[in-house]
Amino acid sequence: MTVSACILGCAGPTLSRAEKAFFADVRPWGFILFGRNIETPDQVRALTEDLRACVGRADAAILIDQEGGRVQRMGRPHWRRYPPSRAYGLLGADGREIARLGGRLIAHDLAAMGVTVNCAPVLDLPSPDGHAIISDRAYGQTPADATILGRAMAEGLIAGGVLPVVKHIPGHGRARADSHETLPVVDAAWDELDAWDFAPFRALSDMPMAMTAHVIYDAADPKRPATTSKSMIRRAIRGAIGFDGLLMSDDLSMKALAGGFRGRAERALKAGCDVVLHCNGDMAEMKAVAAGTGPLKGRAKRRAEAALARRPQAVEPFDPAEARVRFDAAFDGRFAA
């Protein structure tokens, strides 16, 4: 069965007839959900089932951003709140255990809805003069913090049957602009990036998936952001960092990227992304992305298959009620449902 090297969104909580026909024709590798797609547990389960039915693949990846804090698509009243990543770093010696427990709880929530991939953990290291888009989404201020707590979160997700996506490789923390709105430029020297920003990604280079940063790094490519830079992907992501898992672009609809959507998809794939991500569910944009996306094949296909194979056959034994009590106690109930 031919699968397209893309991940697409949908417009609302149910699929339109046009969306069903389009997805059946394009057969994207996966889908991503946002708040506009989330209403009730029964509705989300029905939506994930319908998305998979469109492409005829029970293992089609369904993604979401459920980091905690400012970035979580499933929330009250049906799902509990989770703290921002920074909160785990403030727990001291208990941070690693509670971060893993948080990942396990999030995975429990997601897996019950048919969601199999979480776009977390964020391994970016915030810089004092960096834009606030990262800030408390980061686990701490140092590579050691991001490595220890990010791995704990990822391990908790995997234990619950949900695959993590480390982001935003090779590091968004120094960016002085929000790539949702404009194209940031980082002018740090290569050695500085390699020793600091790349370090958490290198330490977690064994993770199944990673998402690129729409950021220019002058030290390697002063013209193109990492997502569309063959130099940055080869030298930094596949080279210095050593990541050989499935590499997906960040959202192609972000304003950091220029040009039409077909061209954005083509440039990202040509640069070395394995799959491209388009999030907003706009049909015209998705059709253009699909036109610029070929079939998933070769090394990219092997990476995609290897990523999906990382989902455990049986999830780790788990008592969600007991876990919630321990989790809430660690934060003095500040994030209790």
Mind listing the domains of the chain with CATH numbers? 4-330 (3.20.20.300)
The catalytic residue among 59, 94, 180, 206 is: 180
3-class secondary structure, 225: strand
* CA gap 32, 271 in Å, rounded: 23
Give the dihedral of Cα atoms 195, 185, 276, 169; nearest 10 deg. Answer: 20
Number of Cβ within a 10 Å radius of residue 319 = 9
Quote the DSSP letter at residue 37.
Answer: G
pTM above the 0.95 mark? yes
* CA gap 155, 33 in Å, rounded: 22
How high is the pLDDT of residue 337? 61
The catalytic residue among 124, 250, 251, 274 is: 250
What is the bridge-based pairing of β-strands 216-217 and 221-225? antiparallel
Task: Tell which residue, 134, 138, 132, 152, has the closest CA to residue 85.
Answer: 138
* CA gap 24, 220 in Å, rounded: 40
Token match 């994930």: residue?
48
Number of Cβ within a 10 Å radius of residue 197 = 28
What is the bridge-based pairing of β-strands 66-68 and 71-72? antiparallel
Predicted confidence pLDDT, tens digits, the chain (337 residues) = 799 999 999 999 999 999 999 999 999 999 999 999 999 999 999 999 999 999 999 999 999 999 999 999 999 999 999 999 999 999 999 999 999 999 999 999 999 999 999 999 999 999 988 788 999 999 999 999 999 999 999 999 999 999 999 999 999 999 988 899 899 999 999 999 999 999 999 999 999 999 999 999 999 999 999 999 999 999 999 999 999 999 999 999 999 999 999 999 999 999 999 999 999 999 999 999 999 999 999 999 999 999 999 999 889 999 999 999 999 999 988 887 6
* CA gap 100, 105 in Å, rounded: 9
Would residue 180 show up in a list of annotated catalytic residues for this protein? yes
* CA gap 47, 223 in Å, rounded: 40
Burial 74-86 (b: 16+ CB within 10 A, else e): beeebbbebbbbb
